[in-house]
Structures are given as C-alpha cells and as structure tokens.
C-alpha cells in the first residue's frame, strides 16, 4: 500500500531524513516512534507530497503521493484547518477537494464525532475552538472520503483520555476493513498497544524496526524495577550501574532477574540508597526506546 525506499530530505542545507525505508500494508497499523526533532513530521510531509524528497522513492498504491491524494487522509500535528471559517465551512471546503457533497461530508463528520463522544459547535469559527476540538475536527475531516490509508501526525495530542480510547477503537475498526494506518507519536504506550509494527526514528534515521514483541527481544529477558525512597540523581546512578532511569524509578535489564535481585539490592544499599519497592518485570517497548536512543546518542 505504502512504500518508502531510501528516502533522504534536506531542509535549508541540513539533512533531516537519512535513508529511511518503510512499508505499510493493507490492514496494518504502523507507528513512527521518536523524540521531538527526530524527523517524524518531515517524513510524513514527504509521504503526503507536501515536501518533495531530496532522494529516494515514495509510492502509495504505486502512485506518486501528489497523484494519490484521494487514497489517503492526513492529519498534521498542527494546523490543517481554515481558522477564519466555521467548523461547517471547513468540512464543506475540504469535501469539495474530493468532489464529495457537503451534506454527505457533514453527515460523516457528525457520525464520527458521535462515536468519539464529542459535540462540536460547527456553526462557530474554528479560531474559537480549543486545541482538542480542532484536533477532533481535523481527524473527522481526514476520514470523510473513506481513504485507503490514514496518515496521522501525533493524532491524540490535546485529546481527553476517554476520547483517545474511542479514537483508537475507530482506528482499529478502520484497520480491520483492510485499510492502512501510519501514525507518528512520542507516546510509547500508544505505539506498543496499537501498532502491528514500529519504526524507532532518531536523528533522521531508522534505528530499529519490528513488531513490539520483536523489538522487546532486542533486550535481555527480564527487568528489575526499583523505586527509591529519596530524591537521588538516578541518571548518574544509571550511568554507573547500567540501568534505565525514569524519575524515582530505575530498571535493570538482565537475563536472569530473579537470580540478580540480591546483587542489585546489595549494590544499591552499599551506596546508601533505600528502596521503596522492587518488582521483576518483562522489558517494555519504552525500555527498548530509551536504550536504543541512548546508545545512538552516546555513539
């Protein structure tokens, strides 16, 4: 459905994308996971034809993106709406681009908003909408022409948690119809829960790719997670002990966690660190993300 092959993109003389290749198949949800500034949004702008590639190839069902606009729906990270127009006028404006009657488009938008549990004042100017309202309208407009591929840039930012759940339910139904979904996110839990495959992107490159389970296998089989009682410099601790820091919690990735627990506890106590809790867990996609990005950064 979507093929990106050895894609490079330079902006103002700076290489933002460096040889990225990826695919999205029918009935598949693929995520781009990376920190801010990693190139995710630029990649989506090339895929949708907003930017031309410096080098490489992008095809949507065998077509150049600029010739395949009826095949995909795109939700940008920001903007995408005519602020001076009402919500209704925005729906009609964008539906005309796909030769869809305004009345039909409005019906689809209202039905989709109902499924999300959102009520929008479509008669009001969009400039009066909250960030979440704008995002919801953009999402529903992107689905008006029933595209074969949804391309979403940080789609759930500014949405309430309950709306997020309903949104992903809709996306899953969409995927089950044999359509494709490509979404960029910095929410690791969304990538882990809703992706069939994940591309971890850092500094314009794909540093890892696979299903969430395949990516978790890149790490040792277990994790010892401890929460410390007092404020300490967990980043410095993990530089010295080879763990992953997150607030007051640190995770030690090991092959035999049950056997290593006494060693880890003794080492922490020897440093005067008191523990609030300790759990043995499986590595998460977040562990993979932090480990890979950290290793790339250090290299």
The pLDDT tens digits of the residues spanning 165-177 come to 888 998 999 999 9
Can you give the pLDDT at residue 259? 92
pLDDT-above-70 percentage for the chain: 98
> 2-215 with 220-282: one CATH topology?
no
Average pLDDT, the chain: 92
CATH 1.10.8, applies to 220-282:
no
Q: How confident is the model at residue 295 (pLDDT cuts 50, 70, 90)?
A: very low
Does 192 have pLDDT greater than 50?
yes
Can you give the pLDDT at residue 233? 87
| Number of other CB atoms surrounding residue 178 within 10 Å | 12
What is the C-alpha to C-alpha distance for residues 260 and 264, in angstroms, rounded to an integer?
Answer: 6
Q: How confident is the model at residue 11 (pLDDT cuts 50, 70, 90)?
A: very high
Taking only the tens place, the pLDDT of each residue in 72-125 is 999 998 888 999 999 999 999 999 988 999 999 999 999 999 988 888 999 999
Can you give the pLDDT at residue 296? 40
DSSP output for 127-185: GGS-HHHHHHHHHHHHTTT--SEEEEESTTTT--HHHHHHHHHHHHHHHHTT-EEEEEE
Superfamily of 2-215 according to CATH: P-loop containing nucleotide triphosphate hydrolases (3.40.50.300)
The two tokens of residue 215 are 């990516």
On the 0-12 / 13-18 / 19+ scale of CB atoms within 10 A, 282 is: exposed
pTM of the model as a whole: 0.88
Q: Where are the domains of the chain?
A: 2-215, 220-282
Taking only the tens place, the pLDDT of each residue in 222-281 is 999 999 988 888 888 888 998 988 888 899 999 999 999 999 999 999 999 999 999 999
Q: What b/e sequence results for 124-147 when a residue is b if at least 16 CB atoms lie within 10 Å of its CB, and e otherwise? A: eebeebeeebbbbbbbbbbbbbeb
Residues 6+ apart with CB under 8 A from 93: 82, 85
């Amino acid at each position: 459905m979507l093929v990106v092959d050895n894609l490079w993109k330079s902006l103002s003389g700076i290489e933002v994308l460096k040889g990225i290749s990826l695919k999205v198949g029918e009935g598949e949800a693929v995520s781009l996971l990376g920190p801010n500034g990693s190139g995710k949004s630029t990649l989506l702008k090339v895929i949708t034809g907003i930017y031309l590639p410096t080098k490489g190839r992008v095809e949507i069902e065998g077509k150049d993106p600029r010739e395949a606009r009826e095949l995909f729906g795109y939700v940008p990270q920001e903007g995408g709406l005519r602020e001076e127009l009402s919500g209704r006028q925005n729906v009609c404006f964008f539906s005309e681009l796909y030769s869809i009657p305004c009345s039909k488009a409005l019906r689809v938008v209202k039905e989709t908003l109902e499924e999300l549990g959102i009520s929008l004042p479509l008669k009001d100017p969009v400039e009066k909408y909250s960030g979440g309202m704008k995002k919801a309208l953009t999402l529903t407009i992107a689905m008006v022409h029933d595209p074969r591929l949804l391309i979403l840039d940080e789609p759930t930012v500014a949405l309430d948690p309950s709306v997020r759940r309903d949104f992903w339910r809709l996306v899953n139904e969409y995927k089950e119809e044999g359509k494709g979904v490509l979404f960029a996110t910095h929410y690791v839990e969304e990538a882990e829960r809703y992706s069939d495959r994940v591309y971890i992107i850092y500094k314009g490159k794909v540093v890892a790719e696979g299903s969430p389970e395949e990516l978790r296998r890149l790490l040792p089989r277990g994790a010892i997670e401890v929460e410390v009682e007092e404020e300490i410099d967990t980043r410095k601790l993990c530089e010295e002990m080879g763990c992953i820091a997150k607030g007051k919690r640190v995770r030690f990735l090991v092959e035999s966690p049950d056997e290593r627990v006494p060693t880890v506890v003794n080492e922490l106590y020897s440093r005067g660190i008191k523990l609030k809790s300790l759990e043995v867990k499986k590595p998460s996609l977040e562990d993979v993300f932090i480990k890979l990005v950290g290793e790339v950064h250090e290299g």
